[in-house]
Amino acid sequence: MPYYEFEGVCPVVDPCAYVHPTAVVIGDVIIGPGVYVGPLCSLRGDYGRLILERGANIQDTCVMHGYEDTDTVVQQDGHIGHGAVLHGCVIGRNALVGMNAVVMDGAYIGDESIVAAMSFVKAGFQGLPRQLLMGSPAKVKREVTDQEIHWKNQNTYEYQMLARRSGATMDEVIPLTAVEPNRPRLKGSTDVKPLAEQKAG
């Protein structure tokens, strides 16, 4: 597992968290209980402190970093989509940052807010609760709906369960050379569907 002490500061990982073996965790990083850190994440605590609070997730190929004397924080139940970059910012409680979005230094994303995929949140942005942010630079489009919060909560719960499932069952193996008969399909913990599909239903 690639954890690295840096200048005498060692990462802290709660025993109930799951950090994929290909993620890299360096220096002043604090990972709380029930957190999921996906494959190929880079958590570089070699200047500022990085904090993932209880039940948060940060998915494949995400990057967290920050300047010295700053904290880059994903608060409780925060949900960070594939490929996002967080630099010196704070993601509020139960907020979601979409795939390949970028949130810059000194920005604050309010509780239960959603940053749409591919959005760019400028340095110093100060958000309020339940804002939907979209675009480059990101602008507030409207208030997040109860349906969107419900969908977000379902997905976050899936990742909280995935942390447990991964810790219990993920093993490095030699792949099969052919598809076996009656190959099983993997199921989540809930029947969560893409948001667009839910809105159409």
pLDDT tens digits, one per residue of 134-172: 999 999 999 999 999 999 999 999 999 999 999 999 999
- Rounded distance, CA 77 to CA 159, Å? 10
- Rounded distance, CA 61 to CA 193, Å? 23
How many CA atoms, within 13 angstroms, populate the side-chain half-sphere of residue 2? 14
- Residue 125 is encoded by which pair of tokens? 């942005």
**DSSP sequence for 67-125:** -TT-EEEE-TT-EE-TT-EEES-EEPTT-EE-TT-EE-TT-EEPTT-EEPTT-EEPTT-
What distances in angstroms separate CA 170 from CA 82, 87, 101, 133, 163, one per listed residue? 20, 30, 28, 35, 10
- Rounded distance, CA 125 to CA 134, Å? 13
**Exposed/middle/buried for residue 138 (C-beta within 10 Å: 0-12, 13-18, 19+):** buried
Q: What is the pLDDT along the chain (201 residues), one digit of tens a residue?
A: 689 999 999 999 999 999 999 999 999 999 999 999 999 999 999 999 999 999 999 999 999 999 999 999 999 999 999 999 999 999 999 999 999 999 999 999 999 999 999 999 999 999 999 999 999 999 999 999 999 999 999 999 999 999 999 999 999 999 999 999 999 988 877 777 776 666 655
- Rounded distance, CA 171 to CA 159, Å? 18
Instruction: Tell me which CATH homologous superfamily contains domain 3-143.
Output: Hexapeptide repeat proteins (2.160.10.10)
- Rounded distance, CA 131 to CA 138, Å? 11
**Bridge partners, 83 (sequence order):** none
SS3 131: strand
